[in-house]
Amino acid sequence: MKTVAIIGASDKPGRYANMAMHDLREHGYDVVLVNPFRSEIEGHRCFGSVDEYDGEIDTVTLYVNPARFHGHIEEVIKARPRRVIMNPGTEDRQHERTLSDAGIEVQRACTLVLLSQDQF
């Protein structure tokens, strides 16, 4: 089972991060929730940062603005995911270059759309 970390996980049902959490689980992915302002979301542990999780992460999907992600980029590089998905509104050319230079694939896409089209 592949593990997907959601940076910017949300407990609000109308938020795309919350929808992605549900859709990823429905598609059989193990989901790691990352939000330093929550200890749990819907009964699932929420990590303050990616480096608090000690398992392997295949994909990181972003639901935070670039300024907020800046504080997470080094820990994401250290975790060595196969790819990072920059959902609409999270794109940043410098972050993309930094991740690519570290050997991490960067995809500008919508996690929800990828899942709905079986392209995730």
Summarize pLDDT for 89-114 with one digit per residue, the tens: 999 999 999 999 999 999 999 999 99
CATH number of the domain located at residue range(s) 3-116 in this protein: 3.40.50.720
Q: Domains of the chain: which residue ranges?
A: 3-116
Task: Enter the pTM of the model.
Answer: 0.96
pLDDT tens digits, 2-12 = 999 999 999 99
* Stretch 69-75: mean pLDDT: 93
* Phi-psi map region of 89: left, alpha, beta (phi>0 left; psi -120 to 50 alpha): left
pLDDT digit string (tens) for 28-43? Answer: 999 999 999 999 999 9
Pairing state between β 3-7 and 59-62? parallel
pLDDT for 40-67, tens place per residue? 999 999 999 999 999 999 999 999 999 9
- Closest to 20 (Cα-Cα) out of 117, 96, 113, 107: 113
